[in-house]
């Protein structure tokens, strides 16, 4: 077994220089930095890169690094969109065409029965048409709402790793503390005290050793296999809690603004303001 061992600060090139030359790279580190993450993404364009890390959402720098390691793509369910269009078109027709027509006919028949005294049958028919028109308008409104809800559910986000494989371990189940790099094709294993972060590779006083040995690679790969069997977290779970809250707040704000700035509402506000001034 041969090895190369260094201790001190500024071990970045000693560690990442070997990583950049690998055709297959497996990295295990509890924390990452955005700079290292971007380098691994770039490396994955010409090599197979596997990243194993944790879901430590309290470490903001680590969360930003994870954001570099995956992209969010929007996927649309065409079948749901088709059904949503049918629901919305049907709802619009019922709410703004069929319902109002029946209401108008019913009101005319009811008015004719009352004013001309034709008989109770005409008035009853008019009442029936009015009830049917109201019911159809209600059903049309419900279908319209369902159409919008279905259209919204037809669009969903997919979290796509930007490296060959991204494994985010559940810290509550697996206390990953190892800092490990395996280059199987080169027969190299790197292990040390440094996290693959900017501070770990540049400013902190750390130690790192590269081992060149088939036995070391086999031992490291067995460890990696055990890690891959541990409980994992969905990439979507790494979104910061305030992100979801902000989205809801923005949506609520948009709805409130849209309602508050409509023409009838503006007129009511002006009238109220005018009354207070008077």
* pLDDT one-digit tens code per residue, 102-120: 999 988 888 877 776 666 7
Residues 69 and 9 in one domain: yes
Look at residue 19 and tell me whether its pLDDT is greater than 50.
yes
Tokens for 245, please give them: 């809250």
* Confidence check: pLDDT of 229 > 80: yes
Q: Give the domain-ending residue among 153, 178, 201.
A: 153
Q: Would the pTM of this model clear 0.75, i.e. be above it? A: no
Q: Which of 22-26, 144-148, 268-272 has the highest mean pLDDT?
A: 22-26
For residues 140 and 271, state if they share a domain. no
Indicate if 170 and 198 belong to the same structural domain. yes
pLDDT tens digits, residue range 65-86? 999 999 888 888 888 889 989 9
* DSSP assignment string, 122-166: HHHHHHHHHHHHHHHHHHHHHHHHHHHHHHHHTEEEEEEESSSEE
Q: What is the DSSP letter of 186?
A: G
Which CATH number do you get for residue 31? 3.30.870.10
Q: Provide the domain limits for residue 206.
A: 2-73+158-238
Please say whether the beta carbons of 53 and 30 come within 8 A.
yes
CA distance 59 to 186: 33
């Amino acid at each position: 077994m041969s090895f190369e061992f260094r201790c001190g600060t500024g071990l970045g090139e000693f560690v990442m220089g070997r990583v950049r030359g690998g055709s297959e790279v497996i990295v295990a580190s509890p924390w990452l930095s955005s700079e290292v993450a971007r380098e691994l993404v770039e490396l994955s364009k010409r090599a197979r890169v596997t990243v194993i890390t944790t879901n430590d959402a309290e470490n903001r720098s680590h969360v930003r690094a994870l954001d570099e390691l995956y992209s969010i793509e929007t996927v649309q369910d065409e079948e749901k969109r088709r059904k949503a269009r049918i629901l919305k078109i049907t709802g619009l027709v019922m709410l703004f065409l069929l319902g109002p027509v029946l209401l108008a006919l019913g009101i005319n028949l009811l008015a004719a029965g009352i004013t001309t005294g034709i008989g109770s049958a005409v008035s009853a028919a008019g009442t029936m048409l009015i009830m049917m028109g109201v019911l159809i308008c209600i059903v049309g409104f419900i279908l319209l709402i369902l159409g919008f809800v279905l259209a919204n559910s037809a669009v969903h986000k997919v979290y796509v790793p930007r490296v060959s494989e991204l494994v985010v371990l559940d810290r509550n189940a697996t206390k990953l503390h190892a800092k490990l790099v395996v280059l199987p094709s080169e027969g190299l294993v790197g292990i040390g005290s440094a996290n693959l972060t900017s501070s770990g590779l540049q400013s902190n006083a750390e130690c790192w050793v590269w081992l060149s040995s088939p036995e070391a690679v086999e031992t490291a790969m067995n460890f990696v296999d055990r890690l891959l069997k541990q409980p994992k977290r969905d990439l979507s779970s790494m979104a910061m809690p305030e992100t979801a809250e902000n989205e809801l707040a923005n949506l609520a704000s948009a709805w409130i603004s849209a309602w508050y700035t409509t023409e009838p509402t503006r007129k009511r506000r002006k009238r109220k303001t005018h009354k207070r001034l008077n």
